[in-house]
Amino acid sequence: MGVAPAPAGPVQDPDRHSFGRQDSDRTGPDRAHWLRVARETADDLATDAAAREQAGKAPVDEVSRLREAGLLALLAPARFGGGGADWRTAYAVVREVAAADGAIGQLLGSHYFLSWSARFFTDPARAARIERRSAAEQWCWGGGFAHQEPSLTLTGKAGGQVLDGRQSFAAGVLVADRLAVRAVRADTGEPLAVTVDPALPGVRVDGEADTFGQRLAAGGSMEFDAVPVTADDVLGSLSADEDVLSPLTALASPVSRLLSVQLRLGLAEGVLAEAREYSRSGQWPWHHAWPAEPPRDPQTLTAFGELTVLTRSAAALTDQAVDALLTGLERGEGLAYDEYAEISVLVAMAEAAASRAAQESTSRALDIIGARSVSARLGFDRFWRNARAHTLYEPVSHRLRDIGDYFLNGAYPPFVLPA
């Protein structure tokens, strides 16, 4: 197929652009520290995950746990008071958290992309101002840049611009200190990335009370009624026109889509880990009177074997995609469109593999546990519901078409930001 593991060519000095980690960023804790913090946070979330998910309250307390652990500012430069971590670390953190609580994993992943997106869409000076304040005030970000119908509208008025319209669903909005949304200019139709303070007059956020999965992702609708927008609030263009969209900016798509991949892998790994512990505890799926001893049932062993292979294969493909993406980010402005296409297709493969792993694992784990998996107290169903809810918002059929079109025709994947 010709998909390279990473773009070819020399790697630029990261100090020369805003995408690499600068020396002042490296003064923060190392990767091992953040992975340990993520595990501790995940363990904390896991203790009451089923009860919290059933209660379905806005995750104010959960966000406080993330904030106290320093995870909200993970990607912000250390010189701004952030963690100074890279995307490889952020992806690992999201996956670890998602294994314990898929909804909080989605909320955190969305926050990471939105809080970092200024680096893609605006100039370095403005991006630095946003990240400095976000880290200092420990903002939690919500919203999203996915194409919506009808679109939010940005209209010029005397003294500035105003934002109007309604977005039907976005993650994190119920607990967000800052919103990031897609809006189109009323005069030209150009799509723009816009930041909004949810405390402004004219902003209304409503929760999604009837969702069957991802209940704690703080998802909801946003309504804007003549909300004032300053020039600094407009980050930049979201146009897919090659005259506007550089290959480097286009990497915003695979960066955000890999967060979705990590969420799916976390759900798959999380349900398998809980099913394994349940089986080892002597609570046998096929007969309640069987003695407590190491599982030997052929059906159980085969199912765990198949799902382990499926999940680890998806994880290995995801690691390749992450390597390629990070190399592309380090290439900076030297990245070419054909290199971007290679990265985007590799990420699409990881999306398809992780989606299958999540759906298969969360569904078949219920069969492994057996009739006892219907117990709401055990909470095994939350993994299946979370995986299905997420994959319904992010179906992989279009990704498979992109892979096939690239393989057969050499067509570059479109610039698409996930929902």
Note the pLDDT tens digit of each residue in 225-276. 999 999 999 999 999 987 889 999 999 999 999 999 999 999 999 999 999 9
Domain end, chosen from 203, 237, 271, is at 237
CATH of the domain at 150: 2.40.110.10
Residues 159 and 210 in one domain: yes
pLDDT at 393: 86
Domain count, the chain: 3
Q: Which of 111, 140, 169 is the last residue before a domain boundary?
A: 140
287-to-38, 267, 279, 373 alpha-carbon distances in Å: 37, 27, 12, 13
User: Are 147 and 135 in the same domain?
Assistant: no
Instruction: Assess whether 173 and 299 both reside in one domain.
Output: no
Check: CB of residue 311 under 8 Å from CB of residue 357: yes
The tens digit of pLDDT for each residue in 93-138 reads 999 999 999 999 999 999 999 999 999 999 999 999 999 999 999 9
Range of the domain at 101: 14-140
Region 8-26: what's the mean pLDDT? Answer: 43
Is residue 1 included in any domain, yes or no?
no
Residue 166, CA atoms < 13 Å, CB-side half-sphere: 6
Residue 7 lies in a domain: no
User: Which pTM value belongs to this model?
Assistant: 0.91
Both 275 and 328 in one domain: the answer is yes
Q: Is the same domain home to 402 and 265?
A: yes
What does the alpha-carbon distance between residue 365 and residue 360 come to, in Å, rounded to a whole number? 8
The verdict on residue 54 lying in a domain is: yes
Residue 5 lies in a domain: no
Rounded mean pLDDT of 173-187?
Answer: 96
Residue in 393, 350, 388 with CA at minimum distance from that of residue 271: 388
Task: Report the CATH number that the domain containing residue 320 is assigned in CATH.
Answer: 1.20.140.10
Q: Identify whether 318 is part of a domain.
A: yes
Alpha helices in 101-151 (DSSP H): 102-116, 118-121, 124-137
Last residue of a domain, one of 186, 208, 237: 237
Token pair 């060519």 in the structure block, residue: 9
Calculate mean pLDDT across residues 1-19: 40
Is pLDDT larger for residue 197 or for residue 23?
A: 197
Residue 332 has pLDDT above 50, yes or no: yes
Which of 383, 389, 386 is closest to 365 using CA atoms? 383
pLDDT of residue 286: 41
Q: Are residues 378 and 322 in the same domain?
A: yes
pLDDT on residue 363: 94
Distance CA 231, CA 78 (A): 27
Arithmetic mean of pLDDT over the chain:
89
Domain co-membership, 191 together with 253: no
Does residue 282 surpass a pLDDT of 80? no
Residue 5's pLDDT is 38
